[in-house]
Structure 1
Amino acid sequence: MSLLEDRYRRVLRLLPASYRAEREEEMVCAFMEGSAGLTDADDPRPRWPEIASVAALSLRVRLGGAGAAPRFLAWGRAVRLAAVLGLLFHATMSCAWFLEAVRGSLSTGRPAVPGEVWSEQWLSGTAQILGYLLWIAVFGTLVRGHPRTAKILALLALVSFYGPLAQDGPGTGDAVVYGLLFAVPVLALVAGFHRDAPPPRRSRWTAALPVLAGVPLHVLLSALGSLGMSRTVDWHLWSWLWPWLSSSGTACLAFLVASAICLGRRPRAPGGRDPALPLALAVLSVPVILARVAFLTVDAVDPATRVMAAVNIGQLVAVLLCGLVLTRVAARALPAPPMPPALPAQPRVPDVPPSSPSG
């Protein structure tokens, strides 16, 4: 075996063993034909595009679509469901934030003077509003069966979020960690909806879910915000309520409700052994935990802040426990890994007794 062939076989170890057993020799031959003329004296190595293509193929196989092995099919469905659920949350929150931005601009009610039209504050506000609309469009195009368009819009939405952070310099670590709430569903979208995966095709009512849920959410958050500004509100009650009203707190609440529904109806559901939903929620628990850690305070000085810190810790513990339970439930329901095809049995040569010496 030449040095280059050995290195190609090492790269192919990225693929599952069951896939390598069927295609490894064919792929090695194809790679070697494309590298004709190289000898061991040239210290040949696989090219980076070849390594990237093998890594992308490994991801597509492990997150399989229709016709894939049951375990890979379950992982693919889970990652795609995590993308849909995560993007649904962001689209719903973006709808509420968009309505709040429109309400704020209408309440101001004064036209911008010529010097303020292209001001930094105006441009930042406009980019933020466009980011809200992008998240809504990402979910709508995805559930309507256009994952490629959804990927482009999602990357633009991420740029609208992380772009200002890159200009702020140091001190943005908490915001970057919080941004994982946005980044993880986008990564699931890019990885799960590959060319071998079946595109989602849902009704228009599903695409309208962010608006149907975002409008009442905006009304509720606005009412609670007005209540918090009132002098008659009890600070004890508000200290318990406030940690749930931020975007990460709302994500924590949505995750806990979804987990309770998943675990509560799982024993009674006909397809109760399907690991896709608990596995998807277990994946989403990671950014939710990190987002709440980013806002954790341990130096509270007044009673109200100490209560909010205690609620935050309780949220972290609850999400962590739910994530562990969901992971265990999904692991028990996952099909076994596919086994490589067995080698054909070699024909057995019958034993021939030794001939006895002639007398």
Structure 2
Amino acid sequence: MRLPVFVPIIATVALAVGACGGGGAVSADTPREVRPITPVEGCGPTAWSDPSNLAPDREPARCKPGAPAPKPLAKKTKITVSSSTGSAEFVATLRLGIAKGEFAKENLDVDFKQLGVADSIPLLAKGDLDAMWSAPEAAFFNGLQQKFELRWVLGNYSSNPESKSGLWARAPKGTAPGSIQLGNAQVGTLIGKGSVITYPMSQVLGRHGTDLKKVRFTSLTGPADTVTALENGGVDAAWVVDPVWKQVEGNPGVHFLGGQPLGEPLGGMIYGPGMLRTNPDAGVAFVRALVRIVNTYFDGDYKKNTAFVGEVASSLGLKPESLTAVPAPVWDWEIRKGTTDRLQRAFVDGGALGKAVPESEAVDRTFYAEAVGHKP
């Protein structure tokens, strides 16, 4: 599938989507066909958890290594998937899966494109992209309100309890982090208010006496600027990502306040109408391969395996030490109940979204339910 040279703006695509990918006869509101779900060998009761279980120490769903086994499509199918980066660790399952031929086992030819979310959403809705490995950011929900047929179908990971990727604040040496009040603090960020990180940031700010409407945001141009602004007093607080927080850890005047909620993935795979409606067999096959990749290669603390870390680093174009510098994320393909509600609440509070849509219009768990053989 070849991407067009010019990326149309979302408003333009909204007028055209009704005529694409289905002959204009089917709208996003038309119910999709209910597919049968049968048991899958190697995927027992541990392959599914109650979506309403929000316990931070919840065990992620797992099948046996190598499961679910491939079910090759009758015809080789090309899948075009985008992500905002090809080198961050959150794309490791996708990149390593391509390198190890896991998608080829499903008779899928995966074409990876590096595109930002804002560019990907209209292409996904129009059918020029099949999937997006990213997160349900504000642009995703704005697209849903324009009746784009999009769904978040697969989670990616939740934060490791030992990770300190999150909000760090300046305070005198010896200050207890829990006593820090941010009020109308100046907060540095590499992201806009439309990013999913707005949700955990709003939670942390709430625990420290303020909210998204009260703080003053300062845009920073890169990870190095985040460290400099914190250490030199250019900002009162900043969201510091992996592995950059290692540079401020140990500074007695900078304190970690909190990060992404444990046990709750905030990103993963988003499908457009091609996978949702036109070719759901390919949609399930793609999800099945990703679930198998997690079970086979990314279960537990895989960073203890030096040889495997080298493989992952090579697939991402990174040095192994950049991966081992921070704890392994907890890979988790499931989507928690209410996550899209919490995300949208933060987007509305931050001014990135006008109104919210119900979870039923944003999430579809049936693809991974079919892949592991669980009847919801």
**TM-score normalised by structure 1 residue count:** 0.21
Query: Comparing both structures, which one devotes a greater share of its residues to strand?
Result: 2
Q: Which has the higher contact order (CA 8 A, sep 6+)?
A: 2
Query: Comparing both structures, which one devotes a greater share of its residues to helix?
Result: 1
